Amino acid sequence: MEPKVFEDERGYFFESYNQEKFELATGAKPYFVQDNQSYSTKGVLRGLHFQKGEYAQAKLVRVLDGEVLDVAVDIRPGSKTFGKVVSTLLSSDNKKQMFIPRGCAHGFVTLSEHASFFYKCDNFYNAASEGGILYNDPEFKIDWILDESELIISDKDKLLPTYSETVPN
């Protein structure tokens, strides 16, 4: 999603969220209940995360400052886009936003020296419902742009299972 930006010598203005336009563009009608914000330095990779069951979350994300590669993976069995990876550059310059539906894993890597990342969520966070997939799962072949040696990944994210390890056979 890319907003219409009005710029002049004073700066810029844009509508970052309009429910009617959002519903027309996505077909989704989320009721956002929680906003989150993170700050990361270059090379920080967060993900791939999701919330399970009744605590699943849809997210509308954007970058307030800096640039990231934002990635979503559809892990909804039976979905017509199951197993598909979508990635896009989000930045404070392009002001693009990405909508991640419930049932999709989400992650991003910071490409600029730092980035402030903003999430609108349609469900409250629940620690017991956390789920995740290893960022370099060979099933999804995600190109994180940066070299592996440049990535800064939490110990917790390094230990996430692959997708095949999370799904009962």
Residue-wise pLDDT tens digits, 87-110? 999 999 999 999 999 999 999 999
Of 125, 54, 68, nearest to 97 by C-alpha is 68
Burial of 153 (0-12, 13-18, 19+ CB in 10 A): buried
Q: Does a structural domain hold residue 49?
A: yes
Q: Which of the following is catalytic: 17, 31, 49, 135?
A: 49
Predicted local distance difference test score (pLDDT) of residue 169: 44
Q: Does a structural domain hold residue 12?
A: no
More confident residue, 12 or 69: 69
Predicted local distance difference test score (pLDDT) of residue 162: 95
114 is catalytic: no
Taking 90 as the threshold, does the pLDDT of residue 12 lie above it? Answer: no
Q: Does a structural domain hold residue 7?
A: no
7-11, 115-119, 136-140, range with the lowest pLDDT: 7-11
The pTM assigned to this predicted structure is: 0.91
Taking 50 as the threshold, does the pLDDT of residue 151 lie above it? Answer: yes
Q: What's at 99, amino acid-wise?
A: F
Domain span at residue 45 reads 31-166
What is the number of structural domains in the chain? 1
Burial of 72 (0-12, 13-18, 19+ CB in 10 A): buried
Q: Does a structural domain hold residue 108?
A: yes
Predicted local distance difference test score (pLDDT) of residue 150: 98
Q: Which of the following is catalytic: 17, 31, 114, 119?
A: 119
Q: Does a structural domain hold residue 122?
A: yes
Q: The dihedral of CA 82, 83, 89, 90: what is its sign? A: positive
In this prediction, residue 167 has a pLDDT band, given cuts at 50, 70 and 90, of low
Q: Does a structural domain hold residue 116?
A: yes
CATH of the domain at 71: 2.60.120.10
Q: Does a structural domain hold residue 115?
A: yes
What would the two tokens of residue 133 be? 């997939």
Question: What is the pLDDT averaged over residues 23-52?
Answer: 94
Taking 70 as the threshold, does the pLDDT of residue 168 lie above it? Answer: no
More confident residue, 128 or 3: 128
Please provide the average confidence, as pLDDT, over all residues in the chain: 94
Q: Does a structural domain hold residue 93?
A: yes
